Chain A
Amino acid sequence: MKMKFATMAVTAMMAAAPAMADLVFPSLSYRTGPYAAGGIPFADGYADYFTLLNERDGGIGGVPTRLLECETGYNTEKGVECYESTKGEGALVYQPLSTGITYQLIPKTTADGIPMHTMGYGRTSAANGKVFSHTFNYPGTYWNGASGAVNYLLDENGGDLKGHKIALVYHNSAYGKEPIRTLEELQKKHGFELSLLPVDHPGQEQKSQWLQIRREKPDTVLMWGWGVMNQVAIQEAANIRFPMENFIGIWWSGAEHDVLSAGAKANGYKALTFHNVGRDFPIFEDIQKHVVDTGKAAGAGDQIGNVLYNRGMYAAMLAAEAAKTAQEIHGTAEITPAMMRDGMEALSITEDKMAGLGMPNFGPSFDVSCENHGGPGLVGVTQWDADSQTWSLISDFAETDMEVIGALIAEDSNAYASENNIEMNCK
């Protein structure tokens, strides 16, 4: 009997062994809780792109991909549990989609030698690849976002923001606090007035903040919100009749579900972005044909073309391209997390590459380097049209104030390096 069990175990291992050769992409998603509205389309986009690669191309470089989904509920403890339970399966890259979990995982992933990609969230100073060897946040960071918003306002106001009043409504967490330092620096430089209005988790209660906005009458309201907080803020702004075109959200505060509940009153609301919006890309036909029509879509298939679905797909595309790059560098199709890291560091996204993937002009073209893990930090602005229920890009992807941001990144990352005795890479 014992013998038989051992044989069975061995056969089971043998049967499982080929599965180990997959390229494993864990998806630390959240489809429950107050942030699920944003978590679901992102996770669907991320999953559908890998399904598409498997169905259409047979994986990446001939090796099928395997998506390991783990529910975090935007909770750091569950995030840690998910990380520990998936890292042993050969996970190539982590994308936790939560700034809190990112902070948790930066030291852990570095110690375990697994790269992490926090696209447009997480710790901004991780853009300094000299200190953060395994963390990447290309193509843009929160500080790019803050600077992008200010640059946009400069454009709108003829290059002068003296006496301009800006109110920042932010999620009172590591995520929401990220832009404050940059905005304070920019305040010194451009002379606008900044007031800070924190909103506590989960963000349903914002009456007092908006009362204050009504009293202070800022010229512009910036928002760093996520989950249910976005909808409430936009509804409150509509209630006090704050002009929507002066209300600008970060890229996590600009999806369809955030504005739909406020109806026609949300018309004109703006949000930053680092990638393109809409459904007019050839890749969606492929997804429709290979993924949705065959019944393999991660969700109901109704999220396609939504801002966050596109972003999840974009994240998956960047991960897949980095895996391809890693395969080319190391000359093997079955890459390890260490090779994946090299691939991410050598990643080069060009216009041709994106067009070839059916995503022309989907995001900026950029090169990652050992020193710069943060990408070019180009920021565009989108605007919501409540009649047609679509987002449209109203400004080109523009440069941000890297002089200010670069200094802040160097300061913060060097502080982290000295606190944790990290030696500089990239010599």
Chain B
Amino acid sequence: MFYREAGDFKTTYSADNQTFPIKIDRVGYYVALVVAFLIIPFMINDYWANAILLPFLIYSIAAIGLNILVGYCGQVSLGTGGFMAVGAYACYKLMTAFPEVNIFFHVILSGGVTALVCILFGLPSLRIKGFYLAVATLAAQFFLVWLFNRVPWFYNYSASGQINAPERTVFGVPVTGPNTEAWATYLFCLVFLVICALVARNLTRGMAGRKWMAIRDMDIAAEIIGVNPLKAKLTAFGVSGFFIGISGALFFALYLGAVEVGEAFGINKSFLVLFMIIIGGLGSIFGSFAGAAFLVLLPVVLKVVGVDMFGWPTDIVAHLQLVIVGGLIVMFLILEPHGLAQLWRVAKQKLRLWPFPH
């Protein structure tokens, strides 16, 4: 009833294969784009940008990246934090070494550097699977954080071991450093997110994505039908690393501005992004967005409701948040392993039939 596909005819093959085949979805998608690009930048303030929208956009990119690896290719990774750190440090080194180059290219290049590092750490995946691979990527996490803490070259020999983003501009508008406007950083991240999401969507429904999914569903069968596991797994690591690197670079340069590797890119970050895709939905681009939105918004909502409205002590609210996130993960794993994305799919199905369910 509400969600109709009747009368929505497709006459060409490409029309049938588009990302949003149903008209109402397509309209919704364009409306979301218009709102994101043309309306929000005029209404945004520092609080909305720095507390909600920037983390949401950046974590969405990271979640898309991890979802390609874990959700589409089935290679469990606990190294997300470490790979984000690679992106951040690559961006820092590039920003300070080549100040005349636009930050836009630095961010993309940091994605490339991270992709290479990610492929390197993906090599063991050819031999080991499942839990053992998770442990191998965990080693990447600890090794990378240790490396960035240990080798002063990475932080340009600064006394504190921190990296600070110097001011860089795009079209004359500062996007990093202290004097940024909320709308500029927001738009910069949004552009990256939209590009990443489009690329990811088109990769996952194309040949590459099908190979990944074949490997995920049964690697031996995939090999027999002609999928090269070496290429499939390593491309998944590479593409995933590229997105995660971009998110790490944005996280450092635009969102935090100053980063200490152990604190910002510790094991907690790996788990956070993993929880995002578990709650959002493995193997779904929409799920990456939903999971990121959920885990970014939840603490803020809890804080607003608990501290600002009810006046509870801040520590109780902080503890409550841990309890709720933990409970939700257990609940999702039991009740809906495919996450928020599946809930959304079911809701659409129900809406389509409503009010005549049979």
Instruction: Give chain B's interface residue range (CB within 8 Å of chain A).
Output: 35 or more
Residues of B whose CB lies within 8 Å of any CB of A are: 46-47, 50-51, 55, 149, 159-162, 164, 166-167, 177-179, 255-260, 262-264, 266, 299-300, 303, 307, 313-315, 317-319
Contact partners of B313 in chain A: CB under 8 A? 31
Query: Which of A29, A70, A81, A421 interacts with B50 by CB under 8 Å?
Result: A81
Contact partners of A246 in chain B: CB under 8 A? none
Task: Kindly specify which of A177-185, A311-319, A322-330 makes contact with the partner chain.
Answer: A177-185
Q: CB distance A172 to B149 under 8 Å?
A: yes
6 A-B pairs with the lowest CB-CB distances in the bound complex, closest first? A107-B178, A31-B315, A71-B314, A174-B160, A111-B178, A103-B258
Task: Verify if A219 is at the interface (C-beta below 8 Å from B).
Answer: no
Contact partners of A420 in chain B: CB under 8 A? 166-167, 177-178
Contact partners of B255 in chain A: CB under 8 A? 80
Show 13 residue pairs from A and B whose CB-CB distance is below 8 angstroms, ordered by the A residue.
Answer: A31-B313, A70-B307, A70-B314, A80-B50, A80-B255, A85-B47, A85-B51, A104-B257, A106-B258, A111-B178, A123-B160, A172-B149, A201-B263
Q: A80-B50, A107-B177 are in contact. Are A201 and B314 (CB under 8 A)?
A: no
Task: Verify if A76 is at the interface (C-beta below 8 Å from B).
Answer: yes
Contact partners of A76 in chain B: CB under 8 A? 256, 258-260, 263-264
Contact partners of B160 in chain A: CB under 8 A? 99, 103, 123, 174, 177-178
* Chain B at the A interface: SS class: helix
Smallest Cβ distance from B143 to chain A, in angstroms? 13
Q: CB distance B256 to A71 under 8 Å?
A: no
Of chain A, the residue at the smallest CB distance from B51 is A81
Contact partners of A174 in chain B: CB under 8 A? 160-162, 260
- A31 and B313 CA atoms in complex are apart in Å by 10
Q: CB distance A100 to B260 under 8 Å?
A: yes
Q: CB distance B318 to A71 under 8 Å?
A: yes
Of chain B, the residue at the smallest CB distance from A87 is B46
Q: A123-B160, A180-B159, A419-B166 are in contact. Are A173 and B256 (CB under 8 A)?
A: no
Q: CB distance B159 to A178 under 8 Å?
A: yes
Most buried by A among B260, B266, B300: B260
Q: CB distance B161 to A173 under 8 Å?
A: yes
Task: Verify if A18 is at the interface (C-beta below 8 Å from B).
Answer: no
Q: CB distance A201 to B266 under 8 Å?
A: yes
Contact partners of A108 in chain B: CB under 8 A? 178, 257
Of chain A, the residue at the smallest CB distance from B49 is A84
- A421 and B149 CA atoms in complex are apart in Å by 27
Task: Verify if A110 is at the interface (C-beta below 8 Å from B).
Answer: yes
Of chain B, the residue at the smallest CB distance from A415 is B158
Contact partners of B307 in chain A: CB under 8 A? 69-71
Q: CB distance B263 to A100 under 8 Å?
A: yes
- A75 and B160 CA atoms in complex are apart in Å by 17
Smallest Cβ distance from B298 to chain A, in angstroms? 13
* Chain A at the B interface: SS class: helix
- A75 and B177 CA atoms in complex are apart in Å by 20
Q: A69-B314, A70-B314 are in contact. Are A173 and B262 (CB under 8 A)?
A: yes
- A111 and B180 CA atoms in complex are apart in Å by 9
Contact partners of B259 in chain A: CB under 8 A? 76
Query: Which of A40, A100, A177, A198 interacts with B159 by CB under 8 Å?
Result: A177
- A178 and B161 CA atoms in complex are apart in Å by 9
Contact partners of B177 in chain A: CB under 8 A? 107, 420
Query: Which of A40, A99, A111, A180 interacts with B179 by CB under 8 Å?
Result: A111
Contact partners of B51 in chain A: CB under 8 A? 80-81, 84-85
Query: Which of B179, B262, B299 interacts with A200 by CB under 8 Å?
Result: B262
Q: CB distance B47 to A84 under 8 Å?
A: yes
Task: Verify if A88 is at the interface (C-beta below 8 Å from B).
Answer: yes
Of chain A, the residue at the smallest CB distance from B322 is A32
Indicate with 1 or 0, residue by residue over A188-205, a CB within 8 angstroms of chain B CB atoms: 000000000010110000
- A111 and B317 CA atoms in complex are apart in Å by 31
- A32 and B318 CA atoms in complex are apart in Å by 7
Q: A75-B263, A81-B300, A201-B263 are in contact. Are A177 and B258 (CB under 8 A)?
A: no
Query: Which of B55, B167, B300, B315 interacts with A32 by CB under 8 Å?
Result: B315
Of chain A, the residue at the smallest CB distance from B262 is A201
Indicate with 1 or 0, residue by residue over A56-86, a CB within 8 angstroms of chain B CB atoms: 0000000000000111010111101100110
Interface residues of A in 91-106 (CB under 8 A from B): 99-100, 103-104, 106
Contact partners of A84 in chain B: CB under 8 A? 46-47, 50-51
Q: A71-B317, A80-B256, A180-B159 are in contact. Are A173 and B47 (CB under 8 A)?
A: no
Task: Verify if A236 is at the interface (C-beta below 8 Å from B).
Answer: no
Task: Verify if A412 is at the interface (C-beta below 8 Å from B).
Answer: yes
Contact partners of B303 in chain A: CB under 8 A? 71
Smallest Cβ distance from A199 to chain B, in angstroms? 11
Most buried by B among A32, A70, A71, A87: A71
Of chain B, the residue at the smallest CB distance from A171 is B262
Q: CB distance B55 to A77 under 8 Å?
A: yes
Q: CB distance B257 to A71 under 8 Å?
A: no
Contact partners of B159 in chain A: CB under 8 A? 177-178, 180-181, 412
Query: Which of B46, B164, B318 interacts with A103 by CB under 8 Å?
Result: B164
Q: CB distance B262 to A172 under 8 Å?
A: yes
Smallest Cβ distance from A86 to chain B, in angstroms? 9
Contact partners of A200 in chain B: CB under 8 A? 149, 262
Q: CB distance A177 to B161 under 8 Å?
A: yes
- A401 and B313 CA atoms in complex are apart in Å by 43
- A71 and B308 CA atoms in complex are apart in Å by 12
- A95 and B55 CA atoms in complex are apart in Å by 24
Extra A-B contacts (15), CB below 8 Å, given A108-B178, A172-B149, A200-B149: A31-B315, A70-B314, A71-B303, A71-B315, A75-B263, A76-B260, A77-B264, A80-B50, A104-B256, A173-B260, A177-B160, A198-B149, A201-B266, A420-B167, A420-B177
